[in-house]
Structure 1
Amino acid sequence: MSFHLIIGDKLYSSWSLRAALGLELTGAPYTEQIIKLNQPDTHARLLEHAPTGKVPLLKCEHGTIADSMAISEYLAERFPEAQLWPQDVAARAQARSACAQMHSGFFALRGNMPFDLSRDEALTPMPAEVQADIDRIVALWAECCAAAKESGPFLFGKASLADAFFAPVAVRLRTYRVALPAEAQAYIETIYQWPAFKAWQREGLQELVE
């Protein structure tokens, strides 16, 4: 069993972070390859690996898997013992629903608050459509916690794919200094104390000096 993860800059690639955290949850060893984004040869280099021309990409014995959602579902199937999704049927359904909403929505937040681990400045003025996205995310996190059947500081008690998908959102909310309810702030702190995320953050910030 061999896994090779192709990602963008750790400093800027939120989609890559999702896939990497999912892999970390499995406990399986893997290698990684960083292809710097927004370079003249970025698209050509990515096309060498898959026709999507995007990251993340997971190379494994079953071929090259594109897209963080597909990678996550593949890993959940390959490593059932890792329990990447909540075990309770209702909680698992809500976890998948939350990830799908993140995967296909919140365009105002993404467009106005680009992912950047090194940022530390508020977005002013805050567009109404971005605030609406933030309010919905806070409500969605509360819905996840309400559906959880296990205790713990993550969305469904213990760390799951839901947290892998929302870790980049937590980064955006902290690095843009967004004022949030105490429960949401506590969840962001949980993400920032997650060892898998801390390792990614450390390596991402190191890219600034390389």
Structure 2
Amino acid sequence: MMKLIIGNKNYSSWSLRPWLLLTAHGIPFEEVRIPLKTEHTKASLMTWSDAGKVPVLHEDGLVVWDSLAICEYISERYLEGRGWPEDMQHRARARACAAEMHSGFAQLRESMTMNCRATGRRVDITPALQSEIDRIIQLWSGLRSEFAEKGPWLFGEFSIADCMYAPVVSRFRTYGVEVPQVCADYMAHVIASEAMALWLKQSGEEKETIPAYEVGLTPADE
């Protein structure tokens, strides 16, 4: 059976993406969870990939060690390309959105670490961070307005683009980012979806805590 090696569900945004795609489509796989930031983490990860990071997919001797590449493989191998929109132009735009998330938004990643268990956290919104938040709001608002009649996801139907932005949904929820109603509706749909709800439930059951990812003030701290 295919194996997907992931990190802590509470913290690992990269792991969430392919896990969500597999789970949402009911594709069988064995989950191998390796807690991050421990003295044994690096050695454990190196047994699965020379990159020493999560996520990693293993199947029939194939090793894929990048979240977007894993999603592409799943789409081709199991979904007949349905990981992306059917329309060629929509598909190209969805790939551009996914690639922008994959390689960008450095301020968001640094300042708003994914922490699914946390709620009511607050961090300083610098101009650079606000600029990235504004760009995501622009993307989500435009896509949801354009594709609303086709379904509740970014491009109407569920796609890899939604998997790539699911960690951002979690971040915005954790840190109380104010968004327009169209984005709030999208976030609510992502959070309530069966696969995402399962990830959030299981992340809440984890016992590990990584202090570096426990950022942001709570109301009691203020």
Q: How far has the Cα of 1:63 moved from its partner?
A: 1.0
- The corresponding residue for 1:96 is 95
Shifted more, 111-120 versus 139-148: the winner is: 139-148
Shifted more, 94-103 versus 20-29: the winner is: 20-29
Amino acid at match of 1:39: T
CA distance in 2 between counterparts of 1:147 and 1:95 reads 13
**SS class of match (1:64):** strand
Q: How far has the Cα of 1:81 moved from its partner?
A: 4.0
Shifted more, 169-178 versus 19-28: the winner is: 19-28
**Alignment pair present for 1:203 and 2:202:** yes
Amino acid at match of 2:125: M
CA distance in 2 between counterparts of 1:95 and 1:116 reads 26
CA distance in 2 between counterparts of 1:13 and 1:83 reads 25
Amino acid at match of 2:11: Y
**1:90/1:149 Cα in 2 relative to 1: closer, same or farther (>3 Å)?**
farther
Task: Give the conservation status (yes or no) of the 8 Å contact 1:69–1:103.
Answer: yes
CA distance in 2 between counterparts of 1:202 and 1:122 reads 19
CA distance in 1 between counterparts of 2:62 and 2:146 reads 35
Deviating beyond 4 angstroms after TM superposition, the runs of 4 or more aligned structure 1 residues are none
- The corresponding residue for 2:151 is 152
Provide the aligned length of Structure 1 versus Structure 2: 209
Amino acid at match of 1:66: W
**SS class of match (2:204):** helix
CA distance in 1 between counterparts of 2:95 and 2:145 reads 15
- The corresponding residue for 1:73 is 72
Shifted more, 106-115 versus 124-133: the winner is: 124-133
- Map residues 12-161 of structure 1 onto 2, 5 A cutoff: 12-81=11-80, 83-145=82-144, 148=147, 151-161=150-160
Q: How far has the Cα of 1:55 moved from its partner?
A: 0.2
> RMSD of the TM alignment (CA)?
1.8
Q: How far has the Cα of 1:156 moved from its partner?
A: 1.0
Structure 1 regions of 5+ residues with no counterpart?
none
Task: Give the conservation status (yes or no) of the 8 Å contact 2:123–2:175.
Answer: no
Task: Give the conservation status (yes or no) of the 8 Å contact 2:9–2:202.
Answer: yes
CA distance in 2 between counterparts of 1:98 and 1:176 reads 23
Amino acid at match of 2:122: L
- The corresponding residue for 2:188 is 189
CA distance in 2 between counterparts of 1:171 and 1:15 reads 13
**Alignment pair present for 1:176 and 2:175:** yes
**SS class of match (1:208):** coil
**1:149/1:186 Cα in 2 relative to 1: closer, same or farther (>3 Å)?**
closer
Q: How far has the Cα of 1:61 moved from its partner?
A: 1.6
Q: How far has the Cα of 1:21 moved from its partner?
A: 0.8
Task: Give the conservation status (yes or no) of the 8 Å contact 1:3–1:60.
Answer: yes
TM-score by length of 1: 0.94
Amino acid at match of 1:6: I
Q: How far has the Cα of 1:27 moved from its partner?
A: 2.3
Q: How far has the Cα of 1:118 moved from its partner?
A: 1.2
Amino acid at match of 2:135: R
**1:209/1:101 Cα in 2 relative to 1: closer, same or farther (>3 Å)?**
closer
Q: How far has the Cα of 1:19 moved from its partner?
A: 1.1
CA distance in 2 between counterparts of 1:200 and 1:80 reads 21
CA distance in 2 between counterparts of 1:143 and 1:184 reads 10
